[in-house]
Structure 1
Amino acid sequence: MSTCAHFVLRHRWWVIAFWLVVLLAGGTAAGHVPSRLSSDFSLPGQEGSETQARLARSYGISADLGSLPVLTAPGGRPIDRADVTAVADRIRTIPGARVLDYGSTGDPAFLTEGGHSTFLLVYGPKPTGFADPLAATVDRTAQAAARQHGLSAAVTGYDQLSAGSDTGDDGGLSVLGETLIGALGALLVLAFVFASFLALLPLLVAAVSILATFLVVLALTTFTDVSFVVQFLIALVGLGVAIDYSLLVVSRWREERSRGRSNDEAVVTAVTTAGHAVLASGTTVAISLVALVVVDVPLIRSMGLGGMVIPVVSTLVVLTLLPALLSLAGPRIDRPRIRKEAQVSRAWSAWARGVVRHRWAAATTATAGLVLAIVPVFGLQIGEAGSDSLAHSGVAHDTLAALRAGGVDSGVLTPMPLLVRSARDASAVAAAARRVPGVRMAVVAPPGRDGVTAIVVVPTRETVDNTTVRVVSSVRDATKNLPGYLGVTGRGAIVLDYQRAVFDDFPYVLGLIALVTYVLLVRTFRSLLLPLKAVLLNLVSVAAVFGMITWFWQDGHGSNAVFGIAATGALTFWLPVLIFAFLFGLSMDYEVFILARMREEYDRTGSTAYAVEHGLGRTGRLVTSAALILFFAFAALASAPGTDIKVLATALGAGILLDATVVRALLVPAMVSLLGRYNWWLPAGIARLLRVEPSPLHPGTRLPAGHEDGPHSPGRAPADDRPGRLQPEARP
């Protein structure tokens, strides 16, 4: 790190020029990235996805229902079959549209009770994005044709309900708008922390980091698919991470300046100490995300690759551009100098002394709070949001409500296409599917281009989560041994595919992330116990967050009050893995920030109590400020359209606050105090393997002269706050 700092200072103009070019190129790239991102949820090798691909080849349509027009006769009279046929035929004239209806099949299951209304199943080509390209045309055509035959028409569907909940009145904020809101919140926090124009410097670094990340992701899209979610993460997670890292380095630079060091000496010291913590944090976040590539799912893999770029680029910018700017302009913009960094925070030092003094009570209280938060996670359901949590007003909502009033439940939103080899196999398979409990109807479609025939099986209830997809498995079991069976697809089948492909392998992903993180932190902290505690606390913290979002979103205790969205009933299948990967890495940031400073103070004094007090006194305000900045970023992300993005944002925001308060401010110092000198132990053999200096157990305190506060007198701070000259092995 010292070599890096001296290199940057010698070539600071070249460094600034390089990042200026990247900034301009990134600004151009940011406009092109959204159109290059993927919304593909396919799972190669899984039955649902393979059947979906076969359906697209045979019929040219998506496995998910595009639109669900509902026709109603006036005056409560029964609807005429010929009129339904005429409307359906008009919809069939739309290029790419395929329609199943009461008119062409005569199946009374298409009718509501009393026969006053009927629904049509309209399929279209697989969308390239999230919007069904035929939806608007189907809506206009259905209404126009219905009027000609004296009927009324309205259109619903899962996508239409999702659009109703996603856009609201204003369509949600753009990525740029969300970023500006997050930046404004960050500026307020930075202004409080620095109380000078220096607060603008981390924002400049964040702007360069975000645009540089867009540039790298644009290059990635030429080689592999990158998920649409990445654009939101770049803008807002990138904003928070870059500012957090900058905050740590700039604060340490200020601290060294206040001790009388020259500007360049302060820059070198800041990079050597705080920069080392930034490097460890960025590496940990990157590894927790890149580990997602072991999941054999294109969507998850692309999120891991795209997300990994965020901390890597942010770390590079903070360790190169920021020192160059501090060397060049730091003292000039650090005005007015209202807040000083010469002394530790009195409030945080007093808090740390209180935690050390009452460590058992602090550890017990924090653990009890985490256990309470974890309890709801045992009811977690994986799938997609239920229809009740989507639109709560509008045409799509009202149309579905009318169908339900007529005895047609929400299963019509998630029909499951079942493919057989030829039309002669269809009758027996359809009959077997109809006999499955929970199935409303099974309709045989005309053969496709290659003779493959689809049977559209409509369940009674929508198939969107762990419990409701059982009917998909039942239909599959009842038909898979019959002649001609090829496979079942649709929303419910894809949910089952994700459960097998993602969550069966998830323990291996978790183990890989935990193991690699542990090894990295052993090298960073020169300790066996501190990294183990850090990994275990991170896992507990993430579990608590899952419990909180299960309670808030899935069970609906707060989602309606805050966002006007009913209980989702499940978490969308791709969310848990992404939430875990990001939270595990981001939460570890604060652990590294705090423990790196504690390690530095222990190496200088040999006192665990002093290390806890002084380490938390120096980093407590920074960690709290960093958490607030990330929270503002995630609050802005929660304004994005889409229930899934809101769930992701609230999970990350709640996780950051929980981690920075209950875990890092209470449980971490309490446990470090309880473990005492065993925190800092690293045997010589392991140290030699990891190429770091060993850290043997010391029998007692070895404070410098004049530092009388030891493990048994944590309340007294040394008169001189300046660190002594560290030997190379004592540097964090």
Structure 2
Amino acid sequence: MAKVLYIVGGWAAKWRKSVLFGGIMVLLLAAIVAMRVGPVFEGEMTVPGTESEKALEIMDKKFPSETDLNPGTIQLVFKVEGKSLESSDTKQAIQSSLKTISRDNAVESIADPYDFGTISPNKEIGYTTITYKVTGADVTASSIEALDQQVEKLRDAGFQVEKSGISGSPEIPKVGVISEVIGIAMAFLILLIFFRSLLAAGLPIITAILGLGIGVLLILIGSNYVDLAAISLTTAIMLGLAVGIDYGLFILSRHRQNLLAGKSIRESIAAATGTAGSAVVFAGITVIIALIGLSVTRIPFLTVMGIGAALTVFIAVLIAILVVPAVLSLLGDRLMPKAAGDKNSYVPARESNAWGRFVTKFPLPVALVGILLLGFISLPALHLQTGLPNDGMKSEETTERRAYDLLANGFGAGFNGPLIVLATADGVENPQSAIAQAAKEISGMEGITNTAPPVPNQDGAAAILTVIPQSGPLDKETGKLVESIRAKSKDTESQYGVRLMVTGSTAMDVDITKKLNEALPVFGLLVVGLAFILLLLVFRSLLVPLKAVLGYLLTMTATLGFVVFVFQDGNLANLFGITQSGPILNFLPMLTAGILFGLAMDYEVFLVSRMREKFVHKNDAKGAILFGIKSSGSVVTAAALIMVCVFAGFVFAEDTMIKSMGLALAFGVLIDAFVVRLAVLPAIMTLLGRSSWYLPKWLDRILPNIDVEGSALEEDKSFSASSDDQLAVSATKAKKSATR
């Protein structure tokens, strides 16, 4: 791999203008195509094969007119402080506004709260449902503007009026420019401290933005052909920006080391691409494999999310090994460190530093403290509860959250999470009577506030029941109620011949969460097994991969523990701007497991590969650890801090899903890099000594040799020439091989 990338880096350096122009042209072409086709985020977070999905399929057949159109709807919630909604002036004002809204040609119907009885028992809160003639995604801005005008008119008259989002319209999570700017600004500051050069600090960020732009635009184009959930774009942006900066950092730092060692500019670029570039490619492959590995869960939206994020990582790798060398060549000797202090930062006078000496001097205390600390942070994960955040977890400054709270106060916590029960009585002599008996059985169940009368279909063999739970949609009791109704179906089938199936958004969220929790161990085993095999190939050792995998597991449990501590338990909520505690995002554990696996392997490779290189040459286990921490510790530290800053920037986003992902990844990288990779694992390797690198001879013979650090370049003298000479040498070798 190192030799191939050496040639690639030399080629990119020679044809620097063409490579850079090509990268910019790809960005522009992708932008033009994306602008023409536009994004289409229609993918829903559903899981085929669940009970709720099966119920929807049967409902499509039994109630075709109810499900074919799927029109967009908006709920308006009203309240007048200290006044009844049934007073004459209040009633007149509300009905007048609803009449004006109904003049919009896009409106199909409006459920008047006074005709449909949608006013709370205390007469203080009411709501109306506005149904449009088109789907939620097709409701125009002019229709929303006409609606908002009437809302503002009522608010000016002293009403509290809040509205829900448009059903059937995928909401693109609001990342916010501030989140990205904060992350990029902090990354630039870290790079400036590390490189002590404005030019060098800006280069990885510029190339990362180029790669991120291409990746995001390709995702926007792909959304026209693949069902894509809007959250997939956010995940891709978050990960693509972080790895793009890190990969540029790795190659640039190695290039500056090579310049200080006296290599020519083009030779330095080729060597940096062959060595650090090899590690970048391997690191990128591990992240990509982990993300694509999400497909083993057989959950469509998670699979597509992983593929989208993997695409941005793939683009980041290409930018790192092609565009970064081209830019390095264009900048020439302006990237040469000028001060003597810079030289000391890259070429150590001694093969150890204070931290390395501390870890190797006190390995047992360092390992014990680190493990105990991670174990303590992991404790909250024991009561992890997952779910899909709803309007009730949004900021109180949003109208959706206020509407949610008003409905809960007026009609009960379960009103925001109704259960749709499909009752079928195929082959029963008197189906409606049987369904009525089954409905009576349901209404008497514990945990139910109200059950609406059955709504039969045309042939009377099926009916829909709306059940209002006593608990909220994210409460554990609601999930138990869903399972209880499904279990009740066995009794109703045997007694009345009526089958009960529960669906609706709340039941679907319950099923998705259950499916994700079941798939997590399978994915975890895949990730752990893959990590062990990859590291076995790279480091040619049994114990190094084993301790790396165990370290990754500690990182994961600690990350989940911290997220539960903050988001679910509500601790430090004000610090992170969390307005409402609640269950953890249901796909966060699996997504975090995949991403952190790739990033953890990045740092493991960059750090331990230098240790192995030293151990092979000197056969000194402790010296190898000291050398690895000294030579790669600063780069890993800078890379990890950049990752933390980029991910932490998303903690300030409004959307709860984005906020939780940003916090989980920022904390996970922080713990993995500074506690696991730079403390616990080197301490354990010190305790193990030479046995850390043990590998049976029979296994050593059959394993392929993966040259991540580019040792083959040092052994092959032909690669010590300039990159132009190397290209000629490679061409000559190819000609000789062809004539044999």
Residue 51 of structure 1, CA deviation: 3.1
Tell me the residue number matched to 2:483: 473
Tell me the residue number matched to 1:417: 420
Aligned AA for 2:413? Answer: S
Tell me the residue number matched to 1:192: 193
Residue 527 of structure 1, CA deviation: 1.7
- CA displacement 1:276-307 (0-9 Å, x = unmatched): 22122111111111000111211111111111
1:686 partnered with 2:699: yes
1:616 partnered with 2:626: no
Aligned AA for 1:373? Answer: I
Residue 308 of structure 1, CA deviation: 1.3
Mean Cα displacement is larger for which, 645-654 or 477-486?
A: 477-486
Indicate conservation of the 8 Å contact 2:74/2:163, yes or no. no
Aligned residues: 685
Tell me the residue number matched to 1:706: none
Whole-angstrom distance in 2 between the partners of 1:469 and 1:123: 29
Indicate conservation of the 8 Å contact 1:63/1:489, yes or no. no
Tell me the residue number matched to 1:494: 508
1:241 partnered with 2:239: no
Tell me the residue number matched to 1:272: 274
> Which of 548, 554, 563 pairs up with 1:540?
554
Tell me the residue number matched to 1:607: 620
Tell me the residue number matched to 1:173: 176
Q: What root-mean-square deviation, in Å, do the aligned CA atoms of Structure 1 and Structure 2 show? A: 4.1
Residues 626 and 8 from structure 1, CA distance in 2 versus in 1: closer, same or farther, beyond 3 angstroms? closer
Whole-angstrom distance in 2 between the partners of 1:77 and 1:182: 48
Mean Cα displacement is larger for which, 178-187 or 124-133?
A: 124-133
- CA displacement 1:57-98 (0-9 Å, x = unmatched): 442476999526346797558779x97998999699974568
Whole-angstrom distance in 2 between the partners of 1:641 and 1:605: 53
Tell me the residue number matched to 2:728: none
> Which of 71, 74, 77 pairs up with 1:69?
77
Whole-angstrom distance in 1 between the partners of 2:622 and 2:397: 58
Indicate conservation of the 8 Å contact 1:353/1:613, yes or no. yes
Whole-angstrom distance in 1 between the partners of 2:257 and 2:622: 22
Mean Cα displacement is larger for which, 664-673 or 550-559?
A: 664-673
Tell me the residue number matched to 1:326: 328
Superposition map of 1:499-538 within 5 A: 499-538=513-552
Mean Cα displacement is larger for which, 507-516 or 681-690?
A: 681-690
Tell me the residue number matched to 2:726: none
Residue 476 of structure 1, CA deviation: 2.7
> Which of 281, 306, 314 pairs up with 2:316?
314
> Which of 300, 303, 324 pairs up with 2:302?
300
Residue 199 of structure 1, CA deviation: 2.1
Aligned AA for 1:619? Answer: S
Residue 380 of structure 1, CA deviation: 0.7
Aligned AA for 1:370? Answer: L
Whole-angstrom distance in 1 between the partners of 2:294 and 2:566: 26
Indicate conservation of the 8 Å contact 2:408/2:415, yes or no. no
Tell me the residue number matched to 1:288: 290
Residues 146 and 606 from structure 1, CA distance in 2 versus in 1: closer, same or farther, beyond 3 angstroms? closer
Residues 551 and 346 from structure 1, CA distance in 2 versus in 1: closer, same or farther, beyond 3 angstroms? farther
Tell me the residue number matched to 2:370: 366
Residue 457 of structure 1, CA deviation: 1.0
1:577 partnered with 2:590: yes
Residue 200 of structure 1, CA deviation: 2.5
Residue 385 of structure 1, CA deviation: 3.3
Whole-angstrom distance in 2 between the partners of 1:225 and 1:142: 34
Whole-angstrom distance in 1 between the partners of 2:131 and 2:500: 20
Aligned AA for 1:189? Answer: I
1:46 partnered with 2:59: no
1:460 partnered with 2:470: yes
Whole-angstrom distance in 2 between the partners of 1:216 and 1:580: 25
Whole-angstrom distance in 2 between the partners of 1:53 and 1:594: 52
Residues 450 and 274 from structure 1, CA distance in 2 versus in 1: closer, same or farther, beyond 3 angstroms? farther
Residues 464 and 576 from structure 1, CA distance in 2 versus in 1: closer, same or farther, beyond 3 angstroms? same
Residues 79 and 478 from structure 1, CA distance in 2 versus in 1: closer, same or farther, beyond 3 angstroms? farther
Whole-angstrom distance in 2 between the partners of 1:500 and 1:63: 29
Indicate conservation of the 8 Å contact 2:374/2:554, yes or no. yes
**What secondary structure, in the 3-state scheme, does the structure 2 residue paired with 1:487 have?**
strand
Indicate conservation of the 8 Å contact 1:590/1:664, yes or no. yes
Residue 359 of structure 1, CA deviation: 0.2
Indicate conservation of the 8 Å contact 1:400/1:410, yes or no. no
Whole-angstrom distance in 1 between the partners of 2:435 and 2:155: 32
Residue 615 of structure 1, CA deviation: 0.8
Tell me the residue number matched to 1:349: 353
**What secondary structure, in the 3-state scheme, does the structure 2 residue paired with 1:558 have?**
coil
Aligned AA for 1:624? Answer: T
- CA displacement 1:226-273 (0-9 Å, x = unmatched): 332232233332122011112112212211221222333323332332
Whole-angstrom distance in 2 between the partners of 1:544 and 1:513: 17
Whole-angstrom distance in 1 between the partners of 2:487 and 2:75: 28
Residues 369 and 502 from structure 1, CA distance in 2 versus in 1: closer, same or farther, beyond 3 angstroms? same
Residues 576 and 469 from structure 1, CA distance in 2 versus in 1: closer, same or farther, beyond 3 angstroms? same
Residue 321 of structure 1, CA deviation: 2.3
Structure 2 unaligned segments of length 5 or more: list them: 426-430, 720-740
Tell me the residue number matched to 1:640: 653
- CA displacement 1:508-551 (0-9 Å, x = unmatched): 11111222222122111122221121122112101100000000
Indicate conservation of the 8 Å contact 2:9/2:274, yes or no. no
Residues 667 and 127 from structure 1, CA distance in 2 versus in 1: closer, same or farther, beyond 3 angstroms? farther
Residues 242 and 130 from structure 1, CA distance in 2 versus in 1: closer, same or farther, beyond 3 angstroms? farther
Whole-angstrom distance in 2 between the partners of 1:280 and 1:682: 22
Superposition map of 1:132-281 within 5 A: 154-155=161-162, 173-174=176-177, 178-196=179-197, 197-218=199-220, 220-281=222-283
Identity among equivalent positions (%) equals 26
Whole-angstrom distance in 1 between the partners of 2:509 and 2:192: 46
**What secondary structure, in the 3-state scheme, does the structure 2 residue paired with 1:272 have?**
helix
Aligned AA for 2:573? Answer: S
Residues 626 and 68 from structure 1, CA distance in 2 versus in 1: closer, same or farther, beyond 3 angstroms? same
Indicate conservation of the 8 Å contact 2:98/2:110, yes or no. no
Whole-angstrom distance in 1 between the partners of 2:43 and 2:699: 45
- CA displacement 1:71-128 (0-9 Å, x = unmatched): 6797558779x97998999699974568597844x7xxx6645455555577777644
Whole-angstrom distance in 2 between the partners of 1:464 and 1:572: 11
Whole-angstrom distance in 1 between the partners of 2:152 and 2:261: 76
Residues 549 and 677 from structure 1, CA distance in 2 versus in 1: closer, same or farther, beyond 3 angstroms? same
**What secondary structure, in the 3-state scheme, does the structure 1 residue paired with 2:39 have?**
helix
**What secondary structure, in the 3-state scheme, does the structure 1 residue paired with 2:535 have?**
helix
Aligned AA for 2:195? Answer: F
> Which of 644, 655, 661 pairs up with 2:668?
655
**What secondary structure, in the 3-state scheme, does the structure 1 residue paired with 2:699 have?**
helix
Mean Cα displacement is larger for which, 5-14 or 354-363?
A: 5-14
Whole-angstrom distance in 1 between the partners of 2:331 and 2:448: 70
**What secondary structure, in the 3-state scheme, does the structure 2 residue paired with 1:444 have?**
coil
Whole-angstrom distance in 2 between the partners of 1:260 and 1:73: 78
Residue 400 of structure 1, CA deviation: 5.4
TM-score by length of 2: 0.81
Superposition map of 1:399-418 within 5 A: 408-418=411-421
Residue 17 of structure 1, CA deviation: 4.0
> Which of 573, 579, 585 pairs up with 1:565?
579
Mean Cα displacement is larger for which, 471-480 or 194-203?
A: 471-480
Residues 428 and 115 from structure 1, CA distance in 2 versus in 1: closer, same or farther, beyond 3 angstroms? farther
Mean Cα displacement is larger for which, 299-308 or 449-458?
A: 449-458
